[in-house]
Amino acid sequence: MRNICSGLSSMVETMTISAMGALGDGLADHRGETIYVPGALPGETVRATIGDGRANDVEIVTPSSERVSPPCPHFSECGGCAVQHWADAPYRAWKRQLVVDALRRQGIEACVAELVPGVPATRRRATFSVLRRPDGVRLGFQQAGSHAIVESVECRVVDPILVKARGALKALAKAVLPIMKVAAKPASMTVTVTRTGLDVALAGDFALTEPARQAAIGIALRANLARLTVRDEVLAETRKPTVSFGGIAVALPSGGFIQATAKAESAMRDLVAGHMQGAKSVADLFSGCGTFALPLARFARVHAVEGDRASLAALDAGWRAATGEKLRRVTTERRDLFMRPVTSKELDAFDGLVFDPPRAGAEAQAHQIAASRVGKIAAVSCNPVTLARDLAILTAAGYRIVSVTPIDQFLWSPHVEVVALLER
């Protein structure tokens, strides 16, 4: 028997787990109510107290044959991973099924490929929670539903370079952050592994004093960070943090977005580029720093549209600096695609289109795409639910789904990346 979670209630109930929920909790049907059971797997019998539709004090009575030992000693405490205790095959099937179910809820029956698997210790970008207390600095990931921080000393997900940098990161936090109350909201520290070193950005509700500024600069230099940014102020930049998009170098702007793992990015790029072959002019909407736009420029003219000025500047500079590459012309346009989507008439100038929006999806933009004559579309998303909604808009207008590929970019979490390819 194994105690997985604790809480308060008055009666102990016995339940059988029938399925895995979308967020990684086991689901049990108890007296006509769906109960969310953290840490439980399909087929298991558990005993637990129940409150507000959720199980507490969970005790596994009959464990599943699919239960495995979690590779991380912090699992069940840290809020970063949900299903390290599940065998690989059913875990992969569950992640793929999340995509299938999201599409079906929109009335879409499509052939969904097998999940492109994630790889441990390859996540190059992570946002840590950090809190300075009188007894020291806490740096790691937050417990689910709590401000408590679990120290990520042996994280099995992130690049080992991020784990090795913990000492320097905690020193930075100690130098910059004030001593905070137990209930205070932690500051956030986003750290990215780039080709030229670590890019560190610290953000939160605190004031940066001049002594703290000077101390942080000294730590950044001693730790040989590529760049340190605190509350949007670049304190130190010894060299441009540089990433590669399909072999094309781009200097990442402070706070600039890149995909969490290089392997997942490569899988997405291969799918998108393969589908766009033969296109002469491609629109890349929500283009970021050029993840897709720059590699596509090897065979097509590209118009990149993005709301962030710094990301567009980095994309343009990367295109201009790629002197060893025979790239087609890349133009950029700063535009809030939620407030002012590219119109169908504007889109008619392109025979290919890529869009990779935030988790909210691109509903307004999808309606304009649906009314256009663009022949090939690649839709990239980190949210199967909003992707399915947007695909329903496109298929209702006559687009056909060629393929849907789920990609496990966020290993052992309920998050899944998806690339859907469509054509008129």
Contact by Cβ (8 Å): 304, 331: yes
Tokens read off for 27: 């689901």
Single out the residue of 125, 141, 123 nearest to residue 79, CA to CA.
141
pTM: 0.93
382 catalytic per annotation? yes
pLDDT surpasses 70 at 376: yes
Q: Do 86 and 44 contact (CB within 8 A), yes or no?
A: no
Predicted confidence (pLDDT) per residue in 85-143, tens digit? 999 999 999 999 999 999 999 999 999 999 999 999 999 999 999 999 998 999 998 88
pLDDT of 313 over the 60 cut:
yes
At 146, the pLDDT band (50, 70, 90 cuts) reads confident
Residues of the chain above pLDDT 70, percent: 97
Q: Which of 72, 78, 155, 382 is catalytic?
A: 382
The model's confidence at residue 381, banded by pLDDT at 50, 70 and 90, is: very high
The pLDDT of residue 330 is 98
Task: For 178, list phi and psi in degrees, rounded to 5.
Answer: -75, 165
Percent above pLDDT 90 for the chain: 88
> Model confidence at 10, in pLDDT bands (50, 70, 90)?
low
| pLDDT score recorded for residue 87 | 98
Domains of the chain: 3-67 (2.40.50.140), 94-119+261-423 (3.40.50.150), 125-241 (2.40.50.1070)
Q: What is the pLDDT of residues 323-349, one digit of tens each?
A: 888 999 999 999 999 999 999 999 999
Residue 5 has pLDDT above 70, yes or no: no
Quote the pLDDT of residue 370.
98
Q: Compute CA distances 158 → 146, 163, 173, 187, 242, whole Å.
A: 22, 7, 20, 19, 19
Statement: residue 4 has pLDDT above 50: no
| 3-class DSSP assignment, residue 342 | coil
Alpha-carbon torsion 299, 302, 308, 314, what sign? positive
Residue 358's alpha-carbon distances to 211, 287, 315, 387, in angstroms, are 37, 11, 18, 10
Q: Edge-to-edge, what's the strand order for the sheet holding 125-133? A: 149-151, 136-142, 125-133, 187-194, 197-203, 227-230, 233-237
- Return the DSSP state at 176: H
